[in-house]
Amino acid sequence: MNILVINAGSSSLKYQIINILSQQVLAKGLAERIGIEGGRIKHQYATNEGFGEYILEENLPEHATAFEAITGLLTHPDFGVIENPESIKAIGHRVVHGGEKFTKTQIITPEVKEAIKTLIPLAPLHNPANLIGIEASEKFFPNAVQVAVFDTAFFATLPEHAYRYAIPKKFYTDNSIRVYGFHGTSHKFVYNEAKKILKNDHLKAITIHLGNGASMAAVNENGESIDTTLGFGPLCGLAMGTRSGDIDPSVIFYMVEELGFSLQEVKNILNKESGMLGLGGSSDARDINEKCEQGDADAKLTLELYTYRIKKYIGSYFAALNGIDTIIFTAGLGENDAVVRSWSCKNLEALGIKLDEEANVKFNHTKVPVEIQAPESKVKILIIPTNEELEIAQQTYELIK
């Protein structure tokens, strides 16, 4: 069965076709600059030698136009991989926010779409684009079953003492203000992969997703997330590429009341000008590492703060889980930054956590799951490349098979 996976952003659309039985990627691509001059689709298709590539450059005034072009590429006689749209039996859509309503993967109905609309205030940048992607795919693949996979669903198991904030109850009951968590599809995927690798169906794990956005999750022996660093929105917890992570709310009041910034300006600073960018001058960890090697004090502080936050949450989640079996690093930095992994695991021997520094460097940029703990480490330390598209395809298949 071929499943099409869609991840629609406000001006982009990522896609993959996966044969779910063989788990082979038949085609993948990215449509960029939708609604902006200079649209472009990078389309890759499976060949006997690997992947061929075709670049389509044309204006894409809306998502429907992009979907039409992608459909043409997927069915093209030279670089297509399906005969016609009817070859796709199901389409799995990444939907960022499911609120408290959607705690599991759902077949998309008019009622589900309407409910996703009502959640737009909780994810104003993402849910509208996700909906547009759904409606465009319904137009060009009318016979396929449309399925929504929610990023927040993995955190539906958080206990109330973990997802509630210590503010008046009415803000939860009337306004749905609570911890929702994000990157759930990635956390779930790497946790399930770790169970296979370690041959243990009852792992206690800390999953660490380090991309431009970053989050951690505590997962108990039943595979249930019991805590996570991201909350009502994607700003708290770890320091990130451009986001501040945890900050005393008093700083925000001070910036507004004493320094004269508007709330919109503060929001922009904390979301787009902080994190690695604000501390070290670049949101790209490769630049920060290079500056650090050259003796730049700001870059060194950036890495120290970034990894210290990770260590603090490792300790916190170790306590919440009453011990752990494994730590899992994933996503851009988690998979490809040996310095971040090394500094994050330093001086944790008291918790039974010790990294093998040689293995950490040797297996940087790994394409397959690997163990990088020292022989005497009581806790397994894994690098597992995330694959959110495969997780979405698998959840879609499980729902409709």
Establish whether 158 is an annotated binding residue: no
**Rounded Cα distance, 360 and 144, in Å:** 43
Dihedral angle at the C-alpha atoms of 186, 188, 194, 196, nearest 10 degrees? -120
Of 226, 223, 190, nearest to 334 by C-alpha is 190
Establish whether 193 is an annotated binding residue: no
Establish whether 38 is an annotated binding residue: no
Establish whether 333 is an annotated binding residue: yes
* Cβ(282)–Cβ(289) below 8 Å: no
What is the pairing mode between strands 13-19 and 326-330?
unpaired
Establish whether 30 is an annotated binding residue: no
**Rounded Cα distance, 59 and 39, in Å:** 4
Establish whether 388 is an annotated binding residue: yes
Beta-bridge partners for 14: 7, 30
**Rounded Cα distance, 251 and 389, in Å:** 38
Establish whether 183 is an annotated binding residue: no
**Rounded Cα distance, 246 and 237, in Å:** 5
- Residue 151 among the catalytic residues: yes
Angle at 83 between CA 78 and CA 86, to 5 degrees: 150
From the list 151, 227, 337, 356, the catalytic residue is: 151
Establish whether 14 is an annotated binding residue: yes
Establish whether 200 is an annotated binding residue: no
Structure tokens at 387: 């694959």
What are the DSSP calls for 297-327, one per residue? HHHHHHHHHHHHHHHHHHHHHHHHHTS-SEE
Establish whether 286 is an annotated binding residue: yes
What are the DSSP calls for 107-167, one per residue? E--HHHHHHHHHTGGGSTTTHHHHHHHHHHHHHH-TTSEEEEEETTGGGGG--HHHH--SS
Establish whether 336 is an annotated binding residue: yes
Of 142, 144, 148, nearest to 111 by C-alpha is 148
Establish whether 212 is an annotated binding residue: yes
Structure tokens at 21: 């039985």
Of 335, 336, 355, nearest to 345 by C-alpha is 355
Establish whether 94 is an annotated binding residue: yes
Establish whether 175 is an annotated binding residue: no
What is the pairing mode between strands 326-330 and 205-210?
parallel
Contacts of 217 (CB under 8 A, 6+ apart): 154, 155, 181, 183, 184, 187, 206, 207, 209, 225, 227, 228, 229
Establish whether 289 is an annotated binding residue: no
Establish whether 63 is an annotated binding residue: no
Establish whether 391 is an annotated binding residue: no
Binding region for Mg(2+)? 7, 388
| Residues tagged active-site | 151
Binding region? 7, 14, 94, 209-213, 284-286, 332-336, 388
Binding region for ATP? 14, 209-213, 284-286, 332-336
Binding region for substrate? 94
